Amino acid sequence: DAGITQSPRHKVTETGTPVTLRCHQTENHRYMYWYRQDPGHGLRLIHYSYGVKDTDKGEVSDGYSVSRSKTEDFLLTLESATSSQTSVYFCAIAGTGETQYFGPGTRLLVL
Amino acid sequence: ILNVEQSPQSLHVQEGDSTNFTCSFPSSNFYALHWYRWETAKSPEALFVMTLNGDEKKKGRISATLNTKEGYSYLYIKGSQPEDSATYLCAFSGGYNKLIFGAGTRLAVHP
């Protein structure tokens, strides 16, 4: 299994609070991704990174920001959480090929 | 916005039945088509990557075909078993290490 961890695995927060999710990899892969999983939509890309300090927006980036200061860590921040951001968040990594390897997911509930 | 469609949305079959489902994707700017298997409460796992028109891939009882000219891929499962129950995702790539996922086909195999 690819060495990917996500933290926290579960989080409950209140509307308006900031939330940061962490993705950590031990594979030294260049590419890292944040997705959210919603019923009827499969996986939708929020942001991705193609190297340290190199990031770009995905399909559903509004309300989210990311940072990658080290190869192994990719942080996803919800600046001011809203109920519509209740979801399961998956991190993925990819090396020289395009196959993506997924972390275990973080379940976020915004009340 | 590129659209990747999967059909059917869900499928119920009996153990031993063979089944297939479809992924439709844009036929222009094609680079690769990925299939993933996603069991409940787990993370998506890569099944196949296909890049050439006419490609066929096989892993055990699961196989996939690719038609890039008309923009579709089929996934086949021969002799379905209860352990095949999962959501099957396809993902389109136009290159640049970004995947666009379909909403998935949820397969339930009943003993």
| H or E element in which residue A36 lies | strand A31-38
pLDDT band for position B93 (cuts 50, 70, 90): very high
**Interface mutation vs chain A, best among B99, B100, B105, B106, most A CBs within 10 Å:** B99
Mean pLDDT of chain A: 94
A27-61 tens-digit pLDDT: 999 999 999 998 888 899 999 999 999 999 999 99
Of A41, A99, A102, the CB nearest to B103: A41
B contacts of A43 (beta carbons < 8 Å): 44, 89, 101
The average pLDDT across B69-97 equals: 95
Query: What is the C-alpha separation between B71 and B92, in angstroms, rounded?
Result: 10
The yes-or-no verdict on residue A98 having pLDDT over 90 is no
Look at B99 and A100 and tell me if their CB atoms are within 8 Å. yes
Q: Which residue has the higher pLDDT, A48 or B97?
A: A48
Identify the DSSP state of B29: S
The yes-or-no verdict on residue A2 having pLDDT over 70 is no
Token pair for B30: 């094609």
pLDDT of residue A1: 53
The yes-or-no verdict on residue A97 having pLDDT over 80 is no
With tokens 């700017």, the residue in question is B29
- Residue B54, judged by CB atoms within 10 A of its CB (0-12, 13-18, 19+), counts as exposed
The yes-or-no verdict on residue B10 having pLDDT over 60 is yes
pLDDT of residue B96: 81
pLDDT of residue B2: 73
Query: Using CA of residue B3, residue B9, residue B15, residue B20, what is the dihedral sign?
Result: negative
Contact yes or no for B19/B13 (Cβ under 8 A):
yes
**B29 to A3, A44, A65, A72: CA distances (angstroms):** 32, 20, 28, 31
Does any CB of chain A come closer than 8 Å to the CB of residue B100?
A: yes
User: What is the DSSP annotation of B42-94?
Assistant: S--EEEEEE-STT-EEEETTEEEEEETTTTEEEEEESS--GGG-EEEEEEEE-
Query: What is the C-alpha separation between A23 and A47, in angstroms, rounded?
Result: 13
B36-80 tens-digit pLDDT: 999 998 999 999 999 999 999 999 999 999 999 999 999 999 999
- Residue A96, judged by CB atoms within 10 A of its CB (0-12, 13-18, 19+), counts as exposed
* Residues, chain B: 111
pLDDT of residue B97: 87
Look at A102 and B44 and tell me if their CB atoms are within 8 Å. yes
pLDDT of residue A92: 97
